[in-house]
Amino acid sequence: MMKKKLGFALTMLLAGSTILAACGGGSSGKTSGEGKDNFTVAMVTDVGGVDDKSFNQSAWEGIQEFGKENNLEKGNTGYNYLQSQSDADYATNLNSLARDDFDLIYGIGFMMKDSINEIAEQQKDAKFAIVDSVVEQPNVASITFKEHHGSFLVGVVAGLTTKTNKVGFIGGMDSPLINKFEAGFAAGVKAVNPDAEIDVQYAGAFDQADKGKAIASSMYKSNADIIYHSAGATGNGVFSEAIDLKAKDPNREIWVIGVDKDQHEEGNGKTKDGEEFNVTLTSMIKRVDIAVKDLATKTKDGEFPGGEVIEYGLEEDAVGIAPTQDNISKDVLAKVEEYKEKIKNGEIEVPTEPEK
């Protein structure tokens, strides 16, 4: 299979999130192709949902921005999404969108790999794209990211910021993709703080905030002062726990590192006296929104990269440190830039698998 890195120009940050519906529109009963005048695009979420404050939401924001720029409306003649309540919904939702004759259909998340492979084989005239995995079909474009590079940089932040010399990593599913986040983070921490201890735990789910909260509680009780999560909506529980602990003890230095989107706002809290605080140290952004919009534009212009792997990384500013940097010192930010250049010029090779 051809592996091709497609560069793209980043524009200004998206103007803001459209209020997200609780679930996507289903089939309208429209016959395939009926009444369709525009290029149409849709996505299927994984179980995290379209409002997971992470990569599903980011993908939906990219599709909405594409729709806005092309004067499309939400629905089966413009842009849409279907939400999956469980993995049993993946194939059904993908097939539904194919029957509704969408010109490009996204499957968001590596857990959709088998379902996209199955439906793409059945619906050979439809065009599909998968985010965070690779499907070897001529009618599927595969979008991947160098998550380990961005995770290394937030690891540098954690390693230089920790006061207890103990940090945590909470993953969703223990999988090769999330292992990349873990491996990069651990390498970044150790690069600047070899003596730091890293507590790693997996929740086994991307949609269970209660599990994220319970694991975070255990880590913070064990003296970790910074936790990096790569767990989708499960990570919402990490923020909840950190906020609760900070509210009880405003003098405690306790932090969360977000993922995929700038999750600064997720860290907002108040003490019992009404004093505001924020527990988001930084976030590792993965610009799923830009990648999704970029591929939709290429496909609309007749340049669908079927059968190819499109990889986005530091070179395209598609991964890295979030723009909100209020809680990071200038010295630490300078170190981040130093290590970013070392990665880009090949001086540092960031691992994709955790050390055994």
Q: What is the pTM of this model?
A: 0.82
> What's the confidence (pLDDT) of residue 33?
39
d(CA 218, CA 210): 13
Measure Cα distances from 171 to 99, 108, 175, 190, 228 in Å. Answer: 35, 17, 9, 19, 9
> What's the confidence (pLDDT) of residue 53?
80
> What's the confidence (pLDDT) of residue 52?
83
- Superfamily of domain 41-145+287-312 in CATH is Response regulator (3.40.50.2300)
Domain ranges of the chain: 41-145+287-312, 147-278+319-344
> What's the confidence (pLDDT) of residue 36?
55
Angle between helices 55-69 and 288-300 (to 10 degrees): 40
> What's the confidence (pLDDT) of residue 244?
98
Q: Which CATH number fits domain 147-278+319-344: 3.40.50.2300, 3.40.50.300, 1.10.3470.10, 3.30.565.10?
A: 3.40.50.2300
Given this chain, do its domains 41-145+287-312 and 147-278+319-344 carry the same CATH topology?
yes
> What's the confidence (pLDDT) of residue 217?
98
Return the residue matching tokens 């207890």.
Answer: 164
> What's the confidence (pLDDT) of residue 316?
86
> What's the confidence (pLDDT) of residue 19?
32
Q: Mean pLDDT per segment of 10 residues, for the chain of length 356 residues?
A: 40 35 37 60 93 89 97 96 95 97 96 97 98 97 97 98 98 96 98 98 96 98 98 95 97 96 96 96 95 96 97 92 96 98 97 92
Characterize the bridge pairing of strands 319-321 and 197-202.
unpaired
> What's the confidence (pLDDT) of residue 132?
94
Q: According to the 3-state scheme, what is the secondary structure of the chain?
A: CCECCCCCCCCCCCCCCCCCCCCCCCCCCCCCCCCCCCCCEEEECCCCCCCCCCHHHHHHHHHHHHHHHCCCCECCCCEEEECCCCCCHHHHHHHHHHHCCCCEEEEECHHHHHHHHHHHHHCCCCCEEEECCCCCCCCEEEEEECHHHHHHHHHHHHHHHCCCCEEEEEECCCCHHHHHHHHHHHHHHHHHCCCCEEEEEECCCCCCHHHHHHHHHHHHHCCCCEEEEECHHHHHHHHHHHHHHHHHCCCCCCEEEEEECCCHHHHEEECCCCCEEECEEEEEEECHHHHHHHHHHHHHCCCCCCCCEEEECHHHCCEEECCCCCCCCHHHHHHHHHHHHHHHCCCCCCCCCCCC
User: Of the candidates 111, 153, 79, which has an alpha carbon nearest to the alpha carbon of residue 321?
Assistant: 153
d(CA 205, CA 202): 8
d(CA 308, CA 129): 10
